[in-house]
Amino acid sequence: MTALTYYPLPRPQESALSLIFRCAAGNGISTKHLLRDAYQKNQYRKMINGLWEGHPPCELLTNHSGFSIREKADIRECFHRTNRGDDLLRVEIGGLIFPSVLLRSELALCPSCARDGHLHRLHSLSFCDICSIHGEQFIYRCPECGVKFDWLALNNYICPCGFDLRQAPKTLFNTSTSKLMSTALEEKNQKFFSLLIAALSAMSFAHDIIDRSAILESCARIATRNKSFFFREIEKIQDQFLSLHRRAILAPFLLSPEPTLSEYALEYLFSASQSKPQSHSAACRCGELQFNNEELQLVFNCQGYELHSINHSQCLSQPSPVSIQGKTRQNINAQNYANLCTPKKICYGKNKMSLASPLKILNTLDYRWQQTFFRPIREP
């Protein structure tokens, strides 16, 4: 086992993986060598498993007699902590709680973070592909050799092919989105991230059509709890599907367990106006939208409600989940779902909506499973 002479103290909002990288580089050894010393055997864990508090890497980085109790606590705070508030396993990162399914299983880097010498905590979470500090899109592969990053093979941000990832070209995105998330992280604004994740989950029906970065930008604005922002973002989606009734777009938000989303969606549903389209564009991609069973039931079965008497128990009546091959939640491939935006099938009214033959349409649907509560990032 190599005797370590350098133990890094965390920088603001630094991730556990970044601490491991800095410790290895500071001691002049490879990341693999450091992890081998931590586990004291030639078995290397997956990245997602090596970043938890109490695991060997965490114990190794805090094993310095010169550290104060506060300094050791700061290091441990960089590592993931288990949080079981309900049946869903959650992870605490820097004082904020996230569903553990959102932890990234493969390495993503911001080139400017690599140049600064440390990685921000947000790169550990799969819902984000934008650096909250620099506003740059994360990269997942070496620009030189095209190989996906292997966390054990990177040494001081040098790819095994010899390319220095600090020299990777940067792709700037909307800096307002990064500032919103950065501020929320610094303030440990749990409400912001809870609403952000709920909005991302509600937007899962369009993850194959709308660019992921654009979805994150919209959801970050919605997470500010500004109702006008919510209305504006829904209007943007409507502009992309001019023949689609707004109820289809709003269904995932209406069914969201986050009350802010469901309340805003309900108000938009009954306050926004929409003209009946004269034709259905051949370029419309509504047939690629994906909805789960509960969302489809709401789209097809929500009938004639008065604005002043509506409530969740009336409008959001939820059927018993359909079980297919032992599973209780389903994603529906809407390849044959174009009927939803055909004017003949939907009555465009302000407070009243009905479908002519929902059962005929439902029987044509092709079922597809989804294991996480929102569609995962498809890394390039």
25 vs 154: CA distance, rounded Å: 10
- CA distances 14 to 4, 19, 159, 275, 348, Å, are 21, 7, 21, 50, 51
In the chain, pLDDT over 90 holds for what percent of residues?
40
Q: Amino acid identity, residue 208?
A: D
Q: Which residue has the higher pLDDT, 318 or 49?
A: 49
Using 50, 70 and 90 to split pLDDT, how confident is the model at 41?
low
- Choice between 350 and 70, residue whose per-residue pLDDT is larger: 70
- What is the tens place of the pLDDT at every residue in 142-154? 999 999 999 889 9
| 24-28, 277-281, 352-356: which is most confident | 24-28
Tell me: pLDDT of 294 over 90: no
pLDDT at 16 over 80: yes
Nearest to 109 by CA among 188, 21, 193, 25: 21
Q: Does the structure show a pLDDT above 60 at 121?
A: yes
**pLDDT recorded at residue 202:** 94
From residue 259, alpha-carbon distances to 19, 253, 299 in Å are 38, 9, 19
Residue 349 has pLDDT above 90, yes or no: no
pLDDT of res. 129:
84
Q: Region 156-173: what's the mean pLDDT?
A: 91
Rounded Cα distance between 112 and 170, Å, is 8
pLDDT of 234: 95
Pick from 174-188, 285-299, 336-350: least confident: 336-350
Judged against a pLDDT cut of 50, whether residue 69 lies above it is answered with: yes
Q: Can you tell me the distance from the alpha carbon of 294 to that of 297, in angstroms, rounded to the nearest whole number? A: 5
- Strand 90-93 to 96-99 pairing: antiparallel
Mean pLDDT, residues 123-134 taken together: 87
pLDDT confidence band for 293 (50 / 70 / 90): confident
Q: Express as a percent the part of the chain with pLDDT over 70.
A: 76
Provide the pLDDT for residue 334: 33
Mean pLDDT of the chain: 77
- The predicted model gives 355-374 an average pLDDT of 28
**Model confidence pLDDT, tens digit, residues 210-264:** 888 889 899 999 999 999 999 999 999 988 888 788 888 999 999 999 999 999 9
pLDDT in tens, 90-111: 899 888 999 888 898 889 999 9
| Residue 315 pLDDT grade (very low, low, confident, very high; cuts 50, 70, 90) | very low
CA 246 to chain CA centroid, Å, is 24
Distance CA 176, CA 130 (A): 11
Residue 29 banded pLDDT, cuts 50, 70, 90: very high
Task: Supply the pLDDT for residue 85.
Answer: 65
CA gap 342, 243 in Å, rounded: 7
Residues 178-197, mean pLDDT to the nearest whole number: 91
Name the pLDDT band for 287 (thresholds 50, 70, 90): confident
| Helix extents (H) in 255-292 | 259-271
CA–CA gap between residue 249 and residue 238 (Å, rounded): 8
Is the per-residue pLDDT at 341 higher than 60? no
Task: Reply yes or no on whether the pLDDT at 117 is more than 50.
Answer: yes
Question: Which among 44, 295, 248 has a CA at the least distance from the CA of 153?
Answer: 44
User: pLDDT tier at 45 (50, 70, 90 boundaries)?
Assistant: low
* Closest residue by Cα to residue 124 from 12, 9, 18: 18
- Report the C-alpha gap between 312 and 31 in whole angstroms: 53
Q: Cα–Cα distance between 375 and 380 in angstroms, integer?
A: 15
Which of helix, strand or coil describes residue 135?
coil
So where are the chain's domains?
Answer: 16-167, 189-368
Rounded Cα distance, 166 and 143, in Å: 11
For the chain, the C-alpha Rg in angstroms (whole number) is: 24
